[in-house]
Structure 1
Amino acid sequence: MNIAFVLLTHNPDEPAGIERSIASLAEGLREAGHHPLIIAAGPATPADHAGLLRLSTLTLPRPAREEDLLALLADPAPVVREVRHLLTAHRAELVCWADAVWGLGYLSPAPPGVATALMVHVPRADEAMHQSLAHGPRAVLTTGDFMIREMAGADLDTSSWHAVPNALLHLAAPPHPSEREKLRRGGAVRIVARAEPHKGIAELLAALPTEFGRRVQIVLAEAGFEYWPGMQNETIARCRKLAAGLPEVELRRALPWQQVQPFLAGAAATLIGSTSPETFGNVAAEALSVGTPVVGYGLGHLPALVGTAGRMVALDDGPEQIWQTLADLLDDREEYHASAQQGPAQVADLAPHAVAAAFLAAAAPRETS
């Protein structure tokens, strides 16, 4: 089956959840013998591959804001024509709009006869969302029960929506228990996050106890989009200023997707400091897949994802409690290893082929699913 995904910000190794989830799903579809392609805005990158099609009628600045995109689409006709042409030329049987705006769901430029699906990765109930739903997509897909409840609470009819989780890009073997024990005793805490204020990295740095006694390695990545001008630069500058006074802290640049799981596998634990609900939690899933316990705020989908493979903290208790909870977990050998062993089981159903099967069951025309 020929399946197209439209996500204008898509780039290989883009440090963002939707982009990574689309790449993982596409990999699962390939494994199942289907033919996925991704349609994105320009400019092209050296890492582009044959399954990534760039629009000649739309080039985004980096980083881009939604306001930038909507201004560029003030006259959407050229982009609509090109998307329809690409879908026709590649004989797409199903096209999935990866977002109401960034995935062109509000325009829904599908040729006649091509089935459509809408993905809802982030909470939004604005005009673009209502326009996307008014086009009558064959299926609406979101990341889990949390998002279905959240959007129902925004007065959207979610009764026929489907929960399809984000896939891991690949499965990886966790460290041997003896190596995991070495990490528990003295391994670094490793964190991977996008440079966004709500990821809570600055707050974690400000609350780091002086007596913590371990290295803290933080990958802080700039994405191709932001919510206001200078957001990422401001976040990175604040974190660098805080880290300058913390000799045990090391800030690192973005990692390629394939290197995230090995990086997290070498950690004693990882922290999710997001102060707004994670609608899925890709980094947490990658950590769990390699047996690395997760400590974070009990918001959004994170508690269901982590289960007993880590510990959750109430947001009101603040970042100081995250560090204390982490220290308690590291000090408890039995519970630590139980959490580490549970991690891969928590994400066992996130293999690319399994998520691809769930996607097809929800979105594909019945005769081809």
Structure 2
Amino acid sequence: MSTIAFVLMSYRTNQPSGIDRSIGALVKGLRRLGHTPLVMAAGPTPQDRLEPGLIRLRSVMLPQPATNADVLAALADPTPVVEEVRRILAEHRVDAVCWADTLWGLGYLNPAPDSVTTALMVHKIRPSNEERWRHALAAADVICPASDYLADGGTEAGLDTSRWVTVPNALHTLTSPTAAGEREKLREAGPVRIVSRADPAKGLAELLEALPTGWDRPVELVLAKAGFELQSGGQSRTLAACRAARDLRPDVVTIWPPLRWSEVPVFFAGGAATVISTRVPETFCFTAAEALSVGTPVVGFDLGNVPRLAGEAGRTVALDTGPHALWAALGELLADPDGYRRASMAAPGRVARFTPEQSAGSLLAALGL
């Protein structure tokens, strides 16, 4: 059996982040297959209980939340983190290490001994002229995109994908789909349930502001901050904007506190549908997959991986039609008993292959282990 390490500076269990969920599911899958996973992340050590195999680096300390600029500042002299990561890999006799990102996962530094197989996990196709991205791609033994959508994106970008092997993201927790009788009751009067990281690009405030005047069905939004953000203060501004939009329709809209990873599918199981209002392409979309896994249909824009993921279990509208079109599509779906039933029945099968064990097996095969 092998020891496989993952590196992601911002890693936190139960953090509302696709990359964190991806690693968490791979860790679970590797353990179930009898392997030993490790995760290396920046300090300081959070107050919550650390999971087995989670190692906090002493050479990199980040504020909460951190931005790219904070990471670059912390790595201005990369020598300490390179030496610490190399030492940890050697001490634990690691067989392979997965850099979870170009910057945040140290992929561009590739601080691994020659004897350790390296993989770059790809969750976004970056501009071809980005120097760190080029270094990370060239340094890794294998490139592992997190979805077929990303793999196709690499080909379309003209990259050399001869070393690319898709390792699909996996659902951290699998829950039985909602029974047909209960599902029909949800279609008739159940809440619309949405789970998201508080990021401006998710389009959540705009979605709530576009709520039709006559809409009377509950809209329940779980909104959470992560330990990182693309724009300083972006999460706080998003939360404030969503709360302001909620206050316009407090009779309908509720904003709930964050959920643990294991609680998200259960939350979706009690919803009539979910809406993905992200205005940039989702390269996998965990919340869409989690909703589908319990038979909850998905409505979103026709970009990124969401249409591929949902297929006949969802409805999409053109991005340029805006959030009002999302509400219209959702209303049409909920008013169509036969169409809704077909979408709900198709939903679990759309994501059935995204299990921790299957994704872990794909990773092991990609690493040659």
**Normalised by the size of structure 2, how large is the TM-score?**
0.96
Query: Which one-letter code corresponds to 1:78 in the other structure?
Result: P
Whether 1:274 and 2:275 are equivalent positions in the alignment is no
Match of 1:160 among 160, 163, 167: 163
How much has 1:203 moved relative to structure 2?
A: 1.2
Structure 1 Cα separation of the partners of residues 75 and 268 of structure 2: 39
Query: Which one-letter code corresponds to 2:237 in the other structure?
Result: E
| Secondary structure of 2:320 counterpart | helix
The farther-off stretch of 247-256 and 88-97 is 247-256
Structure 2 Cα separation of the partners of residues 259 and 79 of structure 1: 35
Task: Please list, as runs of the form range in 1=range in 2, the aligned pairs for 1:206-285 lying within 5 A after superposition.
Answer: 206-247=209-250, 248-285=252-289
Structure 1 Cα separation of the partners of residues 341 and 362 of structure 2: 31
Structure 2 Cα separation of the partners of residues 216 and 320 of structure 1: 15
Query: Which one-letter code corresponds to 1:337 in the other structure?
Result: R
Structure 2 Cα separation of the partners of residues 214 and 196 of structure 1: 25
How much has 1:146 moved relative to structure 2?
A: 2.1
Q: Counterpart in 2 of 1:310? A: 314
Which string of whole-angstrom CA distances, capped at 9 and with x for unpartnered residues, describes residues 107-156 of structure 1? 00002200000011022131111111222x12101122322233344442
Query: Which one-letter code corresponds to 2:194 in the other structure?
Result: I
How much has 1:184 moved relative to structure 2?
A: 0.5
Task: Please list, as runs of the form range in 1=range in 2, the aligned pairs for 1:3-152 lying within 5 A after superposition.
Answer: 3-45=4-46, 46-125=48-127, 126-135=130-139, 137-152=140-155
How much has 1:7 moved relative to structure 2?
A: 0.6
Contact 2:173 2:265 in 1 (8 A): no
Structure 2 Cα separation of the partners of residues 134 and 272 of structure 1: 34
Structure 1 Cα separation of the partners of residues 83 and 162 of structure 2: 33
How much has 1:230 moved relative to structure 2?
A: 0.9
Whether 1:184 and 2:187 are equivalent positions in the alignment is yes
How much has 1:210 moved relative to structure 2?
A: 1.5
Which string of whole-angstrom CA distances, capped at 9 and with x for unpartnered residues, describes residues 217-242 of structure 1? 00111011111211111111111111
Query: Which one-letter code corresponds to 2:49 in the other structure?
Result: A
Whether 1:323 and 2:321 are equivalent positions in the alignment is no
Contact 1:124 1:151 in 2 (8 A): no
Contact 1:191 1:219 in 2 (8 A): yes
Which string of whole-angstrom CA distances, capped at 9 and with x for unpartnered residues, describes residues 181-211 of structure 1? 1110100000011111111101111110011
How much has 1:162 moved relative to structure 2?
A: 1.6
| Secondary structure of 2:136 counterpart | helix
Structure 1 Cα separation of the partners of residues 269 and 289 of structure 2: 12
How much has 1:179 moved relative to structure 2?
A: 0.6
Query: Which one-letter code corresponds to 2:58 in the other structure?
Result: S
* Number of aligned positions between the proteins: 364
**Normalised by the size of structure 1, how large is the TM-score?**
0.96
Structure 1 Cα separation of the partners of residues 317 and 30 of structure 2: 36
Structure 1 Cα separation of the partners of residues 70 and 141 of structure 2: 29
How much has 1:89 moved relative to structure 2?
A: 0.9
Whether 1:290 and 2:294 are equivalent positions in the alignment is yes
Match of 2:305 among 301, 306, 318: 301
Structure 2 Cα separation of the partners of residues 196 and 334 of structure 1: 35
Which string of whole-angstrom CA distances, capped at 9 and with x for unpartnered residues, describes residues 142-182 of structure 1? 12232223334444222431222110112110111111111
| Secondary structure of 1:163 counterpart | coil
Contact 2:15 2:227 in 1 (8 A): yes
Query: Which one-letter code corresponds to 2:218 in the other structure?
Result: R
Structure 2 Cα separation of the partners of residues 230 and 92 of structure 1: 38
Structure 2 Cα separation of the partners of residues 10 and 72 of structure 1: 16
Which string of whole-angstrom CA distances, capped at 9 and with x for unpartnered residues, describes residues 294-317 of structure 1? 000111111111011111111111
Contact 2:173 2:261 in 1 (8 A): no
| Secondary structure of 1:149 counterpart | helix
Contact 2:147 2:169 in 1 (8 A): no
Structure 2 Cα separation of the partners of residues 68 and 324 of structure 1: 41
Q: List structure 1 runs of 4+ shifted beyond 4 angstroms.
A: none
| Secondary structure of 1:356 counterpart | helix
The farther-off stretch of 10-19 and 44-53 is 44-53
Aligned-CA RMSD value = 1.1
Structure 1 Cα separation of the partners of residues 76 and 204 of structure 2: 36
Contact 1:12 1:47 in 2 (8 A): no
Contact 2:94 2:116 in 1 (8 A): yes
Contact 2:307 2:314 in 1 (8 A): no
Structure 2 Cα separation of the partners of residues 168 and 145 of structure 1: 16
| Secondary structure of 1:116 counterpart | strand
Structure 2 Cα separation of the partners of residues 173 and 240 of structure 1: 32
Structure 2 Cα separation of the partners of residues 13 and 163 of structure 1: 24
Match of 1:347 among 331, 345, 351: 351
Q: Counterpart in 1 of 2:202? A: 199
